[in-house]
Amino acid sequence: MFQIRVRLLIQFLFLIHLSLTSLAQNKTLSNKEIATLLRDAKTHRIKSNYEESLLKSRVALEQSIKNKSNDLIANSYLIIASNFDELTEPLKALHYYNLGLYYVNKTNNYTLKNQFYNNLGNIYCFDKKQYDKGIYYYQKSLQQSQKILDKNQIFFTKLNITWAYFDIGKFQEGLPYLEYINKYQSIFGSESSIVALNMLNGMYYNFLNENEKANFYFQKAIELGTAGNEKSDLSFAHLEYSKFLNKIHEPQKAYENLCLFNKITDELHIEEKLNKANIVGINLEIDHYKREIDKIEASYKNKQDLLIEEQSKNKKIVIIVLIILVCTIISFYYFFQNIHLKQKNKLIDVQSKIQERIINASIDGQELERKKISTFLHDNISALLSSAGLHLNVFTSQQKTQPEEINKTKGILEEAHKQIRNLSHELMPALLVRFGLLYALEDLCEKTSNSRIKISFNSLIKIKKRYNEDFEMKLYFIIAELINNIIKHSNASHSSINIEETALSLIIHVTDDGTGFKNSQFEAHEGFGINQIRARINNMKGEFIINSAPNKGTSIHLKVPIVNYD
């Protein structure tokens, strides 16, 4: 009699299956009708009518794919996976959760995303024991719940995270979540969660070795679980309490609780088997059902892949054309910019050379004028004043009395002669003319040194060595300008002028221990006579290098080809 009933049930289910399949093939449902079908499938799953739920969710999936609704496709996969999850088929459930995850991530349905991530966390933690992955998905679930402020779901997700961390002994990581669920159990908790919460408190105090508190919470969890209907949480409470009792050396009680855990677990397994037995008809076709679902998915994927491939080809063509166009535009732009830049650089170079020539011509003129004026003052005016003074001295020596006016005139002539001589030496130092560059520089360093700054002169060349007169004059005034800059701007206490000679060049190092500056800032500054000095060195075919840093002093390197004395 029982076999006849089973056969009738199988035939009845098969007819339903055919009718629903036919409906799916011959009619395209609207999104509203699909949503209604999914609500029915969900209701059947909640009522443990798994075969009806699976059949309706399969039709909903096929219709959702036809309508290209990511939200409905994801919902269909969620219900299919949830059915297998409750039928303790975790591998099949995981397969469909992952398929659905692809589609749910294309939506902004945070509630649906939360369900996927939370269910995946359950499978990885409690079925596959892959806690890192499980906690990862729980955290993702928590993010979605927080976006929509679903406080109930936040509470239960944090409960799962606590349990997962405690299962692997990471009590410190799980503690913040435990504190949260302890705080909000009275608001968002349930009869099931209160059992789990007390068990988790027991596990935590067991970890802290606070045995009295741990014992209290474990007993409370068992008491509440026994009074309620949640066998799964009750069984785990007995298991964890057994571990605790064994730890505190109460083996008899530990054994009793372990037996209770095994008993409840066996009862749950029997219930699972009964659930599977109640849907014997659909279980006979379960692989066929999976193949059909996968076939629907594969067909959709193939069409989608072809479309994506075609779109990809079109995109590549457009991208290549755009790249060629952009490259052409950029090439033309840089080509014309390069031409413009070359012209600009040539113009700047010409202007720089013109400016340099103007500076050199100006300085050459100044030096020539210096020399002429110095010579004129020394050879003419100074000679005339000396002659006038001599005649006046002869006249006064012949007179017994010397009028006051004559004495004042003699003093004026002597002062004028002295000032003319000093001015002549400033314009063209006598030492430079008579004894050469090295004598003149040594004298300049000695005269310029004072209590505030010491300027030392060091030469590896014989002091009597002479060079071309113009060459010596140019170098003298360049070095004099550099010394003047050190005195005015560097705040240095010591400076040195070092000169050496190679076969073809004269090398001069000017250093100080002053405040220094940034090279870039100095280059931008047009003062200190540096432009003129650089122009003079360039005109002499030499090198001019400045190295400095804030608070590290300054070093100036000059290298000029030698022009020997003719």
3-state SS, 450-466, equals CCCCEEEEEECCCCCCC
Q: Is residue 326's pLDDT more than 70?
A: yes
How sure is the predictor about 13, in pLDDT bands with cuts at 50, 70 and 90?
very low
State the Cα–Cα distance between residues 4 and 52, nearest whole angstrom: 21
Q: Is 422 exposed, middle or buried (0-12, 13-18, 19+ CB in 10 A)?
A: exposed
Residue 180 has pLDDT above 90, yes or no: yes
Q: What's the confidence (pLDDT) of residue 324?
A: 87
Q: What would the pLDDT profile of 276-308 be if each residue is shown by its tens digit? A: 555 544 443 445 455 555 666 566 556 556 666
pLDDT at 331 (0 to 100): 81
Q: What is the pLDDT of residues 223-243, one digit of tens each?
A: 888 887 777 888 888 888 888
Share of the chain above pLDDT 70, in %: 72
Model confidence at 378: pLDDT above 70:
no
CATH 1.10.3470 for domain 190-276, yes or no, is no
Question: Tell me, what's the pLDDT at 316?
Answer: 79
- pLDDT value for 557: 92
Q: State whether residue 564 is helix, strand or coil.
A: strand
CATH of span 432-561: 3.30.565.10
**Which two three-digit tokens encode residue 247?**
């730890």
- 418-421: Cβ within 8 A, 24+ apart: 420/377, 420/378, 420/381, 420/382, 420/385, 421/377, 421/378, 421/382
Task: Note the Cα 530 to chain centre separation in Å.
Answer: 42
Q: Which residue has the higher pLDDT, 409 or 471?
A: 471
Any idea where the domains of the chain sit in the sequence? 190-276, 432-561
Mean pLDDT across the chain: 78
Residue 22 banded pLDDT, cuts 50, 70, 90: very low
Q: What is the pLDDT of residue 402?
A: 66
Six-digit token pair at 139? 């955290």
Q: What is the pTM of this model?
A: 0.48
Q: Which helix (H) or strand (E) holds 364?
A: helix 286-376
Alpha helices in 148-210 (DSSP H): 151-167, 171-188, 191-207
User: 4 or 496: whose pLDDT is higher?
Assistant: 496
Q: For residue 451, what pLDDT band results from cuts at 50, 70 and 90?
A: confident
Reported as a pLDDT band with limits 50, 70 and 90, residue 12 is very low
- What does the pLDDT look like over 27-73, one tens digit per residue? 678 888 888 988 988 898 888 888 888 888 888 888 888 888 888 88
The pLDDT of residue 425: 54
Distance CA 231, CA 261 (A): 10
Residue 2 has pLDDT above 70, yes or no: no
Q: With pLDDT > 90 as the criterion, what percentage of the chain qualifies?
A: 10
- For residues 488-514, give the mean pLDDT: 90
pLDDT at 526 over 60: no
